[in-house]
Amino acid sequence: MNKSELTQLIDVAAGRKIADLVLKNGKIVDVYQGDILEGDVAIIDGKIAGIGEDYEGKETVDLKGKYIAPGLIDPHIHVESSYVTPEEFGRLLVPLGTTTVMADPHEIVNVAGLKGLDYMMEAAKHTTLDIQYMLPSCVPATNMENAGAVLTASDMVSPLEEGKASGLAEFMDFPGVIHAQDSVIEKLLVARNLNKRIDGHSPLVSGKELNAYIAAGVKNDHECTTVEELQERISRGMYVFLREGSVTQNLRTLLQGVTPQNARRCCLCGDDVQAKTMLEKGHLDHSIRICIEENVDPITAIQMATINTAESCQLFDRGAVAPGLKADLVIFSDFNHFVVEQTYIDGKLVANQGEYVAPFTKADTTSVQSSVHIGDFSKEKLRLKLDSNKARAIEVIQTEALTNEAIVEVERNDVGEFVYNPEKPVAKIAVVERHKNTGNVFVGLLKDYGIQQGAIGISIAHDSHNVIVTGTNDEDMAVVIESLKQQDGGVVLVNNGEVICRMALPVGGLMSNLSGEEVVTEQSKVDRVAREVLGISEDVDPIMTLGFMSLAVIPTLKITDLGLVDVRKFEFVPVSVGGN
C-alpha cells in the first residue's frame, strides 16, 4: 500500500470521501465479541474502510437486514483431493463462501517435485479464491516408500525465502520429530529460522511424545479423532483443526469437546474434500451447519471458520468484518441455517446465488502430465505366497484414514498362494511404483473394503501416489494396472478382463482437466459401478478409502510399494503370521 492508497482508505473511513461500494442495512457478524451489529460496510480498493451508519458509495447494495460475515478460511486442505485443478477448485468453493484456503500441495509435489508447486501456484492465479500454499514437509512422507521426488531441508530454503509458501505443511514424520532425527531437525530449523509456521500431523500421539512434537515448533493438528486428543492438544497450546472431509469425518465427535472456554483454539477444516462432496454437501458452510445441528452457537461456528483460522494461520489482514481488513465477505439470510447467497472477495462480487460470476481461465498443465511410469510389471508379481493360513490384513474403518491390523484366516492353493474366498471379506491389495520404472510391487491383504468380484485401481495412493489396486483375482488386477498406465492415471474398474468404468486424471495422475460437474458425473458412475458390479461396501468411498490404505503415516497398518507398514512402530511387518 502506498501513501495515496492509505490516505484514501482513511478518508473513506472518516466519511470525507465516498466508498467504491457500500453494503447497507446489514446485520454484521462481530466475530471479535460474538455479537451482531447493525449498519453499513464501506469498501474502498478491496478493503473495508468502515462499519456503521451513513456511508456513501459509488455503488450501494441494500441488504435489507441480511447478515454479513467474514469470508470463510480453510486452514488445511489438499486441492488435489478434489480431483479438479486449482482454478476449478476455486470455482466450486467460492460460491460456498470460502474465500481463502491454506493448501498443502503434498500430493503433486510427491509426484512432480517443486515443478508441481510451480504449476499449482500458476493455476492459483486463475481463480479469485486466495489459495496460499504451504510447503510440503515430508516428500516422501516416509522412508518406507518410493515417491516421484525428494525434498531435503536445503530444497526448502528458497521456496520459503521467496514467499512461494507460507510455512511448512503438515509434518507427517512425527516419529522423526519425536526422536529428533537429524534430517527432520534440519527441516524444522529452516522454518523456525525464517519465522515460518509449522503445521502438524500427530495421530494418536500423546503424553511426553506429544510434548516433544509440540516443543519442536508445531502449532496445530488436524488428525484428532477423539475428544481426549483435542483437549490434550489445546491444553498444550495447539490449535485443533476440526476436520470434515469426504471420508475423514471427525467434526461431530470433536464438537463434544468444544466449550466456550476452548472454542477460540478450534478451527474448521476440510483436509481431503472431493468435488462431489462440495457440490452435494458443501465445504466449510456444511461444517458450520453441522456445528449448529450439534447445538454450537452459530456465531461460535462462524468464528471457527473465520477469525480463529485467520489468527492460527497468521493471516492478520482478514477473518473479520472490521476497518482495514480485506473485504472478503459472505451474505446469508438465516442465522440458524447457514447458506451463502453472495460472496465478495476484495470487495468484488464473485459469486451470486450459488454461481461463480468472476472471469474463468485455466493454466497450462503440460509440466505435470505424463506422470505414470510403470516398468517391468507382470501379472506374476501379484501372487501372494503365505507361510500359513493366518495373515495380517489392513482392516478398513468407516469414515477414517485410520485402519486396524486384523489377523485373518485365509485359504491357499497347493503352492501356498493366497486364494480369494467370496465368503470371507478379504481380498488382495497391491501397490505398484509408478514414478521411476523400478518395477516394485508389494502385495498384501485388505479386509472390509467389500469387493466381491473384479478389481479397482487408482493412481491416488497417499502419500507418494503410486498405483494401488485391490481385487479378487490377478487377471483383473493386472488389466487395471495396464489400463492406468495407458490412460496416464486416474481410476479403472475391471471385471472378467474388461474395463467396465474409468475416470481419467491426467494432471499428475491426481486431477482431471474437466469441470467439477463433469468430474462428479464420472465419479458418481465409478461409485455406482463399484458397488453394483464389484460389490464394494456402501459405507466406504471406493476411491478415497482405497487411496488411504497406503497412507503410511496414519496408524495402524498400511501398505506401500516396499512392504506392509506397522505405523505404530514405523517398521515393516510380514503379511504371514506364523508358519506351518
Find the domain containing 451 and state its range: 369-573
The answer to whether residue 351 sits within a structural domain is no
DSSP string over 488-519: TSEEEEEETTEEEEEEE-TBTTTBBSS-HHHH
Give yes or no: residues 266 and 281 share one domain.
yes
Residue 232, sorted as left (phi over 0), alpha (psi -120 to 50) or beta, turns out to be alpha
Q: Are residues 61 and 114 in the same domain?
A: no
pLDDT-based confidence at residue 54 (cuts at 50, 70, 90)? confident
Q: How far apart are CA 406 and CA 394, in angstroms?
A: 6
In a domain, 256, yes or no: yes
From CA 114, how far away is CA 135, in angstroms rounded? Answer: 9
Q: DSSP string covering 248-260, please?
A: -B-HHHHHTT--T
State the angle between helix axes of 182-193 and 153-161 in degrees (0 to 180), rounded to the nearest 10.
10
pLDDT cut 70: percent of the chain above it = 100
Domain membership flag for residue 358 = no
CATH number of the structural domain spanning residue 273? 3.20.20.140
Q: With respect to residue 356, please indicate whether it lies within any of the assigned structural domains.
A: no
Q: Are 493 and 469 in contact (CB under 8 A)?
A: no
pLDDT of residue 580: 57
Confidence of residue 1 (pLDDT cuts 50, 70, 90): confident
Question: Does residue 35 sit in the same domain as residue 103?
Answer: no
Amino acid at 395: E
| Residue positions counted in the chain | 580
At 571, is the secondary structure helix, strand, or coil? strand
Supply the pLDDT for residue 29.
98
Q: pLDDT tens digit string along 309-318?
A: 999 999 999 9
The verdict on residue 354 lying in a domain is no
Residues 46 and 121 in one domain: no
Q: Tell me, what amino acid is at 365? A: T
Positive or negative, the CA dihedral 298, 304, 306, 311 is positive
Name the domain count of the chain: 3
pLDDT for residue 579 is more than 80: no
113 found inside a domain: yes
Nearest to 253 by CA among 284, 281, 223, 276: 223
Q: How confident is the model over 80-89, as pLDDT tens digits?
A: 999 999 999 9
Omega before residue 556 within 30° of 0, cis: yes
What mean pLDDT value characterizes the chain? 96
Instruction: Examine the fold and report which residue of 16, 46, 65 is the final residue of a domain before the chain moves on.
Output: 65
Q: Report which of 28, 24, 101 is spatially closest to residue 302, judged by C-alpha positions.
A: 28
In angstroms, the CA 414 to CA 508 distance is 42
Domain closes at, from 11, 38, 65: 65
292 plus 393 within the same structural domain? no
Domain containing residue 40: CATH number: 2.30.40.10
Q: What is the pLDDT of residues 411-442, one digit of tens each?
A: 999 999 999 999 999 999 999 999 999 999 99
pLDDT digits (tens, 9 = 90+) for 82-119: 999 999 999 999 999 999 999 999 999 999 999 999 99
> What number of other Cβ atoms are within 10 A of residue 79's Cβ?
29
- Condensed to tens digits (0 to 9), the pLDDT of residues 447-476 reads 999 999 999 999 999 989 999 999 999 999
Whether residue 61 sits in one domain with residue 99: no
pLDDT of residue 23: 98
Task: In whole angstroms, give the CA distance from residue 405 to residue 444.
Answer: 12
Task: Give the global pTM.
Answer: 0.95
Separation CA 477–CA 492 (nearest Å)? 10
36 in any annotated domain: yes
Given a contact cutoff of 8 angstroms between Cβ atoms, the answer to whether 241 and 223 are in contact is no
Question: How far, rounded to the nearest angstrom, does the alpha carbon of residue 28 sit from its chain's CA centroid?
Answer: 30
